[in-house]
Amino acid sequence: MLKLLLALVFLAPVCLVKNMWWMVQGLLFLLTFMFMFMNVFGTFFGNLSYFLGCDVLSYGLILLSFWICVLMITASESVYRFKNYEGFFMLMIVVLLILLFCTFSCMNLFMFYLFFESSLIPTLFLILGWGYQPERLQAGVYLLFYTLLASLPLLVGIFYLGGLNQSLYFPMLSGLPVSNVLLYLSLILAFLVKMPMFLVHLWLPKAHVEAPVSGSMILAGVLLKLGGYGLLRVFSVLLLSGLMFNYIWVGISLVGGVLVSLMCLRQTDLKALIAYSSVAHMGIVLGGLMTLSYWGFCGAFTLMIAHGLCSSGLFCLANISYERLGSRSLLINRGLMNFMPSMTLWWFLLSSCNMAAPPSLNLLSEISLLNSLVSWTWTSMFMLGLLSFFSAAYTLYLYSYSQHGKIYSGVYACASGYVREYLLLFLHWVPLNLLILKSEPCVLWL
C-alpha cells in the first residue's frame, strides 16, 4: 500500500508543472490499474505496511476513489480549456485522493478519524474555488459545520475506546462488550451526518448545487461512502448497543427516503434532483446496515459502490447539458433528444441504473438490502415498496422531462458530444454493469 501512497505523493508536485493535465490523468489511470491487480479477496487484511492495510471493504472503496478521481479530471476539461488555475485544481484532486486512500486503508481508528476529517478541506477548496454561484460560500460553511459539529463526539468516543481496549487497531476492536448509550451516539453520529441521514442531510443538496462537476462527482461518488465505511467498521464494537437502539435509525432512514423521493418529484434543478436522489439511496443503505445482518452489510457495501458510479455519471450528464445550455433548470433542459440525440442513450442507460434496473449492480444490492430489511421486520415492506416505486418515478421524471417534449425555443442548434464525454460516461457505465458478472467479492466478503 505504501508504494501507491508514495506514487501519489510524488504525483502532487507534477500537477503544478505547466501543461501536465493529460500526463497526470494518464498516470492516475496507470495507478488505478496497478491497484486493481493488487488482489485482496480474503476476509483478512492483506497488503500490510506500517500503518496501511487493505481488506475487501477497503479495496472496493479505494478502487472507487481512484476511478472517480481520474474521471473528475476527465470531466473538468473546461477548467483546463479556460486556464482556470488548472494546476491547483489538479493538486486539490490528487491531495483529496491521497487523503481518501489513507482513510480507507489505515488500520487504526484514530488515524481513520484524522483522514476522515481532513478529506473535508480539499472538497471545501474545490467548492469555494471552482463553484458557480456566490452562494458557494454559504454551502461550504454548511458542509464544514455539519460535519465538524457531529465529529467532535466521535473523537471523544475513540479516545474512550482506546482507554478501554488499550488499542485502536481495527482487528483487535471486535467483540468489546460495550453497551453505553452515550458512546454509541458519539461513535455513530458523525457517520450519520456524512451519509447523510434524513434530518441531517441539508448540507448535501446545497453543496452539490454550488459545487463544480468535479466537486459533485467526488461528493456523490466517494465522500458519502465514508459514512457507510465508518459505520461498517465501528459496528464490530457496537453490536450490543446496536441491537438495542438501531430500530430508530432504520425508521428515520426509510421514512426519510420516501419523503426525499417526494421532494425529488418537485425539483426543477437537474443537480438538486440527482443530489436528493442520492439522499434517498443512502437512506436505504443505512437501513440495511442498521439491521446488522450479513445481507444488510453486503448489500450496503455493494450499493455504496454502485451508487458512487451511477450518481457520478448522472452529475457528468447534467454538467454536459449545462456546458451547452448554460442552465441546469429543467425548464430549459427539455427536449434534449432533438438537441443532443446521441446523449439520450447515455441518459437512458444511467437513469435505468439509478432506478436499479437489471443488469446493474444497483439491482443486486437493492435486492439484498430489501431482503435484509424485510427479514428484520416485515413492517418495513410498506416504506420499502413506496421507496422503490418513487425512485422509479423521479428517475423517469428526470429522464422524460429532460429528453422528450418540446425543445426550449432559445436553443436553435444541434450539438453532439466530444469523444472525451462519451469515454467518460462509458467508464462510469461499464463497471456498473459488468461488476454484476463478478459480484462474489461484493457479497461474500465477511
**pLDDT one-digit tens code per residue, 245-270:** 999 999 999 999 999 999 999 999 99
- The answer on pLDDT for 240 being more than 80 is yes
| pLDDT score recorded for residue 292 | 93
- The answer on pLDDT for 175 being more than 80 is no
Specify whether the CB–CB gap between 35 and 63 falls below 8 A.
yes
Specify whether the CB–CB gap between 127 and 215 falls below 8 A.
yes
**Sorting pLDDT into bands at 50, 70 and 90, what band is 199?**
very high
Q: Which residue has the cell 434496473?
A: 357
141 Cβ contact list (under 8 Å, min separation 6): none
Query: What is the chain's mean pLDDT, rounded?
Result: 93
Q: How many CB atoms lie within 10 A of CB 43?
A: 11
| pLDDT score recorded for residue 47 | 84
- The answer on pLDDT for 27 being more than 90 is yes
Specify whether the CB–CB gap between 320 and 417 falls below 8 A.
yes
| pLDDT score recorded for residue 177 | 76
Specify whether the CB–CB gap between 146 and 203 falls below 8 A.
yes
Mind listing the pLDDT tens digit for each residue in 2-15? 899 999 999 999 99
| pLDDT score recorded for residue 49 | 81
CA distance 441 to 320: 33
Specify whether the CB–CB gap between 95 and 72 falls below 8 A.
no
Specify whether the CB–CB gap between 237 and 292 falls below 8 A.
no
Residues 316-326 have a mean pLDDT of 93
Mind listing the pLDDT tens digit for each residue in 375-413? 999 999 999 999 999 999 999 999 999 999 988 888 888
Mind listing the pLDDT tens digit for each residue in 37-67? 887 766 778 888 878 999 889 999 999 999 9
**Sorting pLDDT into bands at 50, 70 and 90, what band is 440?**
confident
Question: Lowest-confidence range among 44-53, 112-121, 266-275, 433-442?
Answer: 44-53
Residues 423-438 have a mean pLDDT of 94
| pLDDT score recorded for residue 439 | 87
| pLDDT score recorded for residue 22 | 92
Residues 28-35 have a mean pLDDT of 94
Return the higher-pLDDT residue of 49 and 138. Answer: 138
| pLDDT score recorded for residue 284 | 95
| pLDDT score recorded for residue 397 | 95
Residues 107-114 have a mean pLDDT of 94
Question: Lowest-confidence range among 145-149, 176-180, 275-279, 362-366?
Answer: 176-180
Residues 137-156 have a mean pLDDT of 94
| pLDDT score recorded for residue 39 | 74
Percent above pLDDT 70 for the chain? 99
CA distance 163 to 167: 8
**Sorting pLDDT into bands at 50, 70 and 90, what band is 179?**
confident
Grid coordinates standing for 177? 462488550
For 86-99, b where at least 16 C-beta lie within 10 A, e where not — what string?
bbebbbbbbbbbbb
**Sorting pLDDT into bands at 50, 70 and 90, what band is 148?**
very high
**Sorting pLDDT into bands at 50, 70 and 90, what band is 171?**
confident
| pLDDT score recorded for residue 407 | 87
Mind listing the pLDDT tens digit for each residue in 304-313? 999 999 999 9
CA distance 253 to 197: 6
Specify whether the CB–CB gap between 23 and 116 falls below 8 A.
no
